[in-house]
Structure 1
Amino acid sequence: MVMGLRRPSAARTPPLPGAEPAETAAGEARIGSWALALWLLLLTVAVVLLDTFTGNDLPLIPLMVVLPALASVFCTVRQTTGVAVWVTLVVVGSRIASTGAFWDVVFLIGFTALASALGVVACAARIRHATEVARLRSAAVALQRQILRPLPIVTRQVCAHGFYEPIEEDRFVGGDIYEVVQSPHGTRVIIGDVQGKGLPAIGTGFAALGAFREAAVREPELTAVADAVEDAVVRHNSFSAETGDAERFVTALLLGFDGGDRVKAVNCGHLLPWLLYDGAASAVTLHRTSVPLGMAELGGEARTAEWIDFPPGSALMVFTDGVTEARDVTGVFYPFDERLGRWAGLEPDEVLEALQADLQTFSGGVRRDDVAVLVLDRPPAAESASPCAEAARSDPTT
């Protein structure tokens, strides 16, 4: 066997984000308390000195009322309250010591107290809103990860391992999907990408996954499985239209493994799979690509399946466009073909580790789409100590 079958030491799906970390991050200060106190003291000294030099002709002390408003943008409620109290004391102290008219002094003190209180209220409202958004974001990502099974997944014909990294930024939550199902007709695999972002995309992805899980076991032909998922997406779009949401389509690649040296594929507008074999990586050519799921009426032709080679010792890599459309800080797309060629001679799990780390480095940690990658190869021997073998021994369906 040219490529080894050593598996990842653990599932690659990251732990679920909880509400408490999200709330903590939303309320964290962007500037330290000591740094804030130092800048506040220096600014106060500078304003007081300038106010002394300018005299009554151009009083500058009242300008300090803007500080609580600025603090409300960057600081915690406690820090903003401290700034508000400090500014009020400085203004009150400076005006009491002045010789201005009584009502002018009273008006300035009242205005300062009001502006300071509004700054604290604005800060509390900002943190409350940020906490709610962070909680919603965490719930959306947790929902995605509950829908998708953790990896690796093992069946009688396939060991699927990989990684999934959902984007966790409000409206950018995506709809990447994958599933591996053991059926009486072999192992069926789907990987797909729902058009658009946000919670509606997750709903469409869930509809597609539910239909695939049922049809993969029921339908003897892979094209019939694709048609069942197509119908589910169309029904979901009809429901979405009634509720005012936009209709969506799903690009997907369906694969069928029967334990032989070939794999049946139905491509519904998705990225081509890559074959890792004999120290080389090459894109698998599919000649019968059909329209994405949910758009069959526009295609005009029935979906067809074709066979692709899957020799012993090889692995198929499938992925979503979060990989190929990742960009660096200058906007350059990720050179997937070149990078994968460098790692083709590595073990499958090492390829995954290298790809995951390289994507993170290339994008500078800034992503705008989900990333899902699966590497599919034959399950190891029963005596192997790999995670896939352990899962096979514990799974009565294998």
Structure 2
Amino acid sequence: MTGAEYGTPAQRQQLLRVRGRTVAWAPPLLLLVAIAVIDSNTSGEFRIISWIVLVPGIAAAICGVKGTAAFAVLALVTYIEVDTAWPHQDQTGLPDFILVAVGGALATTACAVRVREERRMLHMRDVADTTRRTVLRPMPTPWASLEHAAVYLAADSEARVGGDFYDIQPSPHGARVLLGDVQGKGLPAVDAAAALLGTFRESAYHDASLAVVAERLEVRMRRHRQYVADLGGEPERGVERFATAVLVAFPPPGAPDDHIEVVNFGHEPPLVAGPSGVRPLPPGDGLPLGLGGLAGPRSGVPPVRRVPLAPDETLLLVTDGVTEARDADGVFFPLRARVSLAVSTDPAVARPRPLVELVREGTLRHGAGLVDDTTIFAVRRAGQPGQVRRARQGQNGTT
């Protein structure tokens, strides 16, 4: 998930603190002293004391309302003291006095407006963060006997969540994993993602068959779309909302099975990375969630595929923010080649956390900027591969 960007109130507060104490007062105070000293040591033909009006203006940008008001008063008093020390014929007089007084009042007012808007923005950010944690809930690691790592990058630096979604749901039937990308942007996409995740979390826990979980997701997407239409919502650009997704089922811990089950709803096929290399899973031959009806009433859900996944292999799932990232020449980000090179150089890169960091850095460096929300999600069985194998051998009665 993205943190606070440079230039936000939180960032400014951190930059203007030394050993936990604010030093926001230092720049305007130094400017005030500098102007007073320079004006006192120049000829009467070059007076800069009226520049002191800049002091409350700078304070308004970095200090609180009380601090700005204090600098406005201090600037006015300093102006009076410095100006009256000059001979009468060299004094700037009433016009500049009015300038400094009015400038201080306007700066204090501007500071009050700034502080109010910053508080409002921080409140809205808290609301957005709460929404993000609801849709993309934090998960402990390991979770459901899976080691995992994820990063979400918003194309809009001010956004906290978008149409990308992912989750792990433990169940009596093994861990279920879901990653997807809702078509479109903004709150409607977030709403659809939340609806799909809610269905996934319930169905993945209760239903033993991954095909049933997949069918419930397809039905949920259609119901959500109908609900939005009944409320009077209109599809974006005349296209019915849908979502590409990958649904994965890991066997329960200790189960004598090195296979996983995968249902691909028109999404980019995941990569499997391990000491033996990098390979893609079979491409998604199903339609996205919400469009299954186009294939006929009996073909709306893609088939469940069983694919091998060794204990020391990691499943890497990404959204199109990675696969569609382009450089200045329009060349797509070579995800598989980049991961293959890194894993062949250092097999430890195949673990979830370093693998996610590798793809994140590669995506950001490849393009001039993100053109779409980007999610990178990696999962593998928790524990050392040798321990997993021994547990399975014990289950089979082998030595």
Same fold, judged at TM 0.5 (above): yes
Residues 1:281 and 2:286 aligned together: no
RMSD of aligned alpha carbons: 4.6
The aligned counterpart of 1:8 is none
Residues 1:359 and 2:348 aligned together: no
Residues 1:266 and 2:263 aligned together: yes
Match of 1:163 among 150, 165, 175: 150
- 1:31-70 aligned at under 5 Å gives the runs 33-46=25-38, 52-54=44-46, 61-62=49-50, 64-70=52-58
Residues 1:302 and 2:300 aligned together: yes
- 1:21-40 aligned at under 5 Å gives the runs 25=11, 27=13, 33-40=25-32
The aligned counterpart of 1:150 is 139
- 1:72-151 aligned at under 5 Å gives the runs 72-77=60-65, 79-93=67-81, 108-147=96-135, 148-151=137-140
> Which amino acid is the alignment partner of residue 250 of structure 1?
A
Q: CA deviation at 1:88?
A: 1.8
Q: CA deviation at 1:28?
A: 5.4
The C-alpha deviation readout for 1:44-80, integer Å capped at 9, x for no partner, is 55567778315xxxx7654543443344234444553
Q: Secondary structure at the match of 1:290?
A: coil
Identity over aligned pairs, percent: 27
The aligned counterpart of 2:194 is 206
Matched residues in 2 for 1:356 and 1:175: separation? Answer: 21
| Counterparts in 2 of 1:73 and 1:201: CA distance versus 1, 3 Å | farther
| Counterparts in 2 of 1:132 and 1:194: CA distance versus 1, 3 Å | farther
| Counterparts in 2 of 1:52 and 1:228: CA distance versus 1, 3 Å | farther
Matched residues in 2 for 1:210 and 1:232: separation? Answer: 10
Aligned length: 358
Q: Secondary structure at the match of 1:344?
A: helix
Asked if the contact 2:28/2:58 (under 8 Å) is kept, the reply is no
| Counterparts in 2 of 1:66 and 1:296: CA distance versus 1, 3 Å | farther
The C-alpha deviation readout for 1:271-305, integer Å capped at 9, x for no partner, is 221112442012223151422x3444566662322
The aligned counterpart of 1:253 is 246
Matched residues in 1 for 2:284 and 2:61: separation? Answer: 55
Asked if the contact 1:200/1:245 (under 8 Å) is kept, the reply is no
The aligned counterpart of 1:392 is none
- Structure 2: where are the runs of 5+ without partners? 17-22, 392-399
Matched residues in 2 for 1:296 and 1:51: separation? Answer: 84
Asked if the contact 1:154/1:379 (under 8 Å) is kept, the reply is no
TM-score (ref. length: structure 2)? 0.68
Matched residues in 2 for 1:25 and 1:183: separation? Answer: 41
Residues 1:226 and 2:227 aligned together: no
The C-alpha deviation readout for 1:118-141, integer Å capped at 9, x for no partner, is 212322322332233234324423
- Structure 1: where are the runs of 5+ without partners? 1-12, 390-398
Instruction: Choose between structure 1 and 2 for higher RCO, CA contacts under 8 A separated by at least 6 residues.
Output: 1
Asked if the contact 2:181/2:245 (under 8 Å) is kept, the reply is yes
> Which amino acid is the alignment partner of residue 375 of structure 2?
V
TM-score (ref. length: structure 1)? 0.68
